[in-house]
Amino acid sequence: MISKETTAFGILIVDRADNVVYATGGAENPDIRHQLLEDLQEKRAQGGGMIALETQTRVIVTFRSLDDAVVFFIQPVEAKSTLFDLVASVDFAHAIFTYLVENPYFSMVVVDAQARIRFLPVVHEKFFGLRHGKAIGRHVTEVIENSRLHEVVQSGKAEIGKLHKMGDITRVVTRIPIKENGKTVGAIGQLMFKEPETVHNLSREVNKLRSEVEFYRNELSGMKKDSYDLEQMVGDSEAMRQLKSDIVKVAPLHVPILIVGESGTGKELAAHAIHALSLRSKNRMIFVNAAALPGGLVESELFGYQAGAFTGAEKAGRKGKFELADKSSLFFDEIGDMPAEIQVKLLRVLQDGMFERVGGNQVCHSDFRLICASNRNFQEMIGNGQFRLDLYYRISGVTIRMPSLRERLDDIPVLTQTFLLAFANRHRAPVKRVDSRVYGYLREQAWPGNVRQLLHEVEKAAIFCDGPEITIDNFRLMTDIPVERTSSPAAASVAAPAAAAPSFSSHRKIQDAIDEVEKTMIRDAMSRHRGNKKKVAEELGISRAYLYKKLPPE
Ligand SMILES: Nc1ncnc2c1ncn2[C@@H]1O[C@H](COP(=O)(O)OP(=O)(O)OP(=O)(O)O)[C@@H](O)[C@H]1O
């Protein structure tokens, strides 16, 4: 039977000859005493430590070996004590506690319920110029300038990350009330950051990230709302004015539109504008990239599938792109890259909007408005059997041709400024000015990658420009710009349905040389970017689909 005292706090002192010279409280418990007296030599050698003892009650013993004795402080803990678990399972727990109280970043000032200092780490004593132990028992306000630990003891409310000014020095601290059985028994003060600048830097970083998130959120919501309109298509040249006026005319009509033009001329932007100006604009435009359709899944992607159509299919079945585009627009990008076997499958749905889901036998109907885009030469493809003539008729109710940048050099200044403004917004940086000679220089370039390439060159120049003004020197990498790749792929701005693009046979011989240069450039860029196709396409100002076509089969 263990008496009340034997489970209480206790002290045990053992002299150099291993005799117990003092035992009180928990130290009178024979079980505890027996365990503490074991391996005394080892404990002396350790100098001090912590032990978790599992007797009838749980106790934590802290011991210290002095010159002439070993002193044990016994403290009973609750059955579910986390402290006990830590000390019992980590045999270097004592070292951890020492680290926590001695390391300047963790070390804490401890005050009791009367705000008297109970513990002040040595680093703090040195900082305040106090001799060791001199602060103990004094009211915290007498020792630490501007301390608020007494307020925290009073209020019982923590103060996290507060600035603490002591003379010329400002630090960031945390003050936490310590409670036992719901009562505030003291408080601890702890240093969080030596320099408040660290916090300012962190907070600046967080604000920057926040505004970037905000920016992308706005971008995204803009995309979701399909809020693209003609304003997104920057340019006031004659060619652009004509293009915009054509778009305004055809957008509200229920005719399929084919947008042709070289890579990077803004075909996708035009598709957005057409949708935004159409009567279907309140519904989301649905996208299909014909060049990126996964082989085995083309049909289910486009037409959807019936419940249980195949293994791995979603239980409830799934809508395909045509169904999703009901009462909206369906944008088929890179339609010229559509594999022949798929082309034939599109004929019916493009004729009357009727289709069947994969695995189903019910005929569905979708009221979609078709917008297609391609940088391919349809006349050539139709001529050599790569593209079906009947499909071409169905997609090209009206053909819109995007002017290349070379045909609208007057737009270079406004495009450059637009890109610089967007760049500055994105990076939260001031907008750079442009030396007027830059525009003349830019007009002289070949721009095979069109607006996309101009965009990339302007952004690169903004990165390389250290000052507030962009000069020709900042475009030095433009020596990399490849020679002109192709001629315009298609015909007049708004063409009659059957009007295919003009032939380019007169360019054939030059074309061979161009193809050769193109091959070399792609090969070099592939090796420079270690096969990263995205980067290669970006650098060369060509679309990824085009790049895939030009790469040798793997
Ligand atoms: N008139 C313009 N005003 C502002 N930005 C433009 C304009 N035309 C093109 N751009 C920009 O150039 C880049 C390429 O445009 P987009 O993707 O619409 O071209 P694309 O003709 O569809 O290219 P691809 O044939 O390679 O798919 C985009 O970043 C786009 O925002």
Last residue of a domain, one of 373, 401, 429: 401
pLDDT at 484: 40
Whether residue 204 lies inside any domain: the answer is: no
Task: Please give the Cα distance from 281 to 279 (Å, whole number).
Answer: 6
Whether residue 40 lies inside any domain: the answer is: yes
Task: Please give the Cα distance from 453 to 263 (Å, whole number).
Answer: 10
pLDDT at 228: 56
CA of 416 to the centre of ligand 1 (A): 14
Q: Which residues of 527-546 are buried (b: 16+ CB within 10 A; e: fewer)?
A: eeeeeeeeebbbbbbbbbbb
Last residue of a domain, one of 99, 128, 147: 99
ipTM above 0.90, yes or no: yes
pLDDT at 554: 57
SS (H, E, C) 406-459: HHHHHHHHHHHHHHHHHHHHHCCCCCCEECCHHHHHHHCCCCCCHHHHHHHHHH
Residue 150 burial (CB count, 10 A): 17
Residues making up the chain, counted from first to last: 554
Residue corresponding to tokens 């109970």 = 118
Q: Is there a contact between 278 and 329 (Cβ–Cβ < 8 Å)?
A: yes
Residue 409 sits in the same domain as residue 260:
no
Which residue range is the domain that position 158 belongs to?
103-194
Whether residue 266 has its Cβ less than 6 Å from ligand 1: yes
Q: Is there a contact between 370 and 259 (Cβ–Cβ < 8 Å)?
A: no
pLDDT at 329: 96
Residue 274 sits in the same domain as residue 296:
yes
Per-block mean pLDDT, blocks of 10 residues, the chain (554 long): 59 93 91 91 89 88 92 90 86 83 75 94 83 92 92 93 80 88 90 67 73 66 56 93 94 94 94 94 90 77 80 72 95 90 89 89 93 94 92 94 96 96 87 93 90 92 88 71 41 33 38 70 81 83 79 67
Whether residue 381 lies inside any domain: the answer is: yes
Residue 273 sits in the same domain as residue 396:
yes
Whether residue 203 lies inside any domain: the answer is: no
Q: Report which protein residue has its CA nearest ligand 1's atom 10.
A: 266
pLDDT at 493: 35
Residue 302 sits in the same domain as residue 269:
yes
- Cα 476 to chain centroid, rounded: 31
Task: Please give the Cα distance from 332 to 275 (Å, whole number).
Answer: 13
What is the domain-level CATH number for residue 111? 3.30.450.20
User: Which tokens sit at 316?
Assistant: 């409830």
Whether residue 489 has its Cβ less than 6 Å from ligand 1: no
Q: Is there a contact between 234 and 405 (Cβ–Cβ < 8 Å)?
A: no
pLDDT at 284: 92
Q: What are phi and psi of 218, to 5 degrees?
A: -65, -45
Number of H helices, E strands in the chain: 21, 22
pLDDT at 432: 92
Task: Please give the Cα distance from 539 to 532 (Å, whole number).
Answer: 11
Last residue of a domain, one of 79, 99, 119: 99
What is the domain-level CATH number for residue 21? 3.40.1840.10
Whether residue 123 has its Cβ less than 6 Å from ligand 1: no
Selection from 229, 164, 151 nearest residue 196 by Cα: 164
Residue 101 CB-density burial (10 A; 0-12 exposed, 13-18 middle, 19+ buried): middle
Number of domains forming the structure of the chain: 4
Q: Is there a contact between 465 and 474 (Cβ–Cβ < 8 Å)?
A: yes
Residue 416 sits in the same domain as residue 373:
no
Whether residue 242 lies inside any domain: the answer is: yes
Residue 441 sits in the same domain as residue 464:
yes
pLDDT at 483: 44
Whether residue 543 has its Cβ less than 6 Å from ligand 1: yes
What is the domain-level CATH number for residue 441? 1.10.8.60
What is the domain-level CATH number for residue 334? 3.40.50.300
Task: Please give the Cα distance from 117 to 5 (Å, whole number).
Answer: 29
Whether residue 155 lies inside any domain: the answer is: yes
* SS3 label, residue 518: helix
CA of 453 to the centre of ligand 1 (A): 9
Task: Please give the Cα distance from 527 to 519 (Å, whole number).
Answer: 12
- Model pTM greater than 0.80? no
CA of 517 to the centre of ligand 1 (A): 24
Residue 241 sits in the same domain as residue 259:
yes
Q: Is there a contact between 13 and 37 (Cβ–Cβ < 8 Å)?
A: no
Residue 250 sits in the same domain as residue 389:
yes
- β-strand partners of 14: 20, 70
Residues 6 or more apart whose Cβ sits within 8 Å of residue 14: 20, 21, 37, 40, 69, 70, 72
Residue 83 sits in the same domain as residue 133:
no
Residue 18 sits in the same domain as residue 88:
yes
Q: Is there a contact between 258 and 396 (Cβ–Cβ < 8 Å)?
A: yes
Selection from 282, 273, 268 nearest residue 250 by Cα: 273
Residue 246 sits in the same domain as residue 322:
yes
Pocket test for ligand 1, best of 268, 411, 426 (most atoms within 8 A of CB): 268
CA of 451 to the centre of ligand 1 (A): 6
Whether residue 491 lies inside any domain: the answer is: no
Selection from 297, 304, 299 nearest residue 318 by Cα: 304
Q: Report which protein residue has its CA nearest ligand 1's atom 23.
A: 264
Whether residue 212 lies inside any domain: the answer is: no
Residue 326 sits in the same domain as residue 465:
no
Residues 6 or more apart whose Cβ sits within 8 Å of residue 410: 236, 237, 238
- Which H or E run includes 536? helix 533-540
- Which H or E run includes 515? helix 508-528
